[in-house]
Amino acid sequence: MTLRRYSRTPLIKGGTCYATPRASYLVYKGVESGLISSTIYETTEGDRLDVLAGRFYGDGRMWWILAAASGVGWALQVQPNTVIRVPDIAQVSQLVG
């Protein structure tokens, strides 16, 4: 059995979409345009996107949503004082997929 890059990433939108370049772009543009509401979190020393996703969404595998919304790329670790946008997961699910 061959594992694909996103095979262990949880699906959203009723199980139809997950961390693909298209989904990431839609999340970024949705937050930028105000179509997806978000809150702001400023990172501190040692913050990681997977840990933050666990805190905000209850699932660390949703880190890609924070990365996409914030335009920080695909690194799990971020520098202190980085502004992270935390989008509303229900709105993300409606838009992506």
* Strand extents, DSSP E, the chain: 38-42, 83-87
The correct answer on CATH 3.40.50 for the domain covering 40-95 is no
pLDDT digits 0-9 by tens, 42-79: 999 999 999 999 999 998 988 999 999 999 987 788 99
User: Measured between alpha carbons, how far is residue 15 from residues 65, 74, 88 in Å?
Assistant: 15, 22, 17
Reading the block at residue 64, the tokens are: 């890609």
Coil, strand or helix at 28: helix
The domain locations on the chain are: 40-95
Coil, strand or helix at 77: strand
pTM of the model: 0.81
Burial of 51 (C-beta count, 10 Å sphere; 0-12/13-18/19+):
middle
pLDDT digits 0-9 by tens, 10-27: 555 444 455 678 888 999
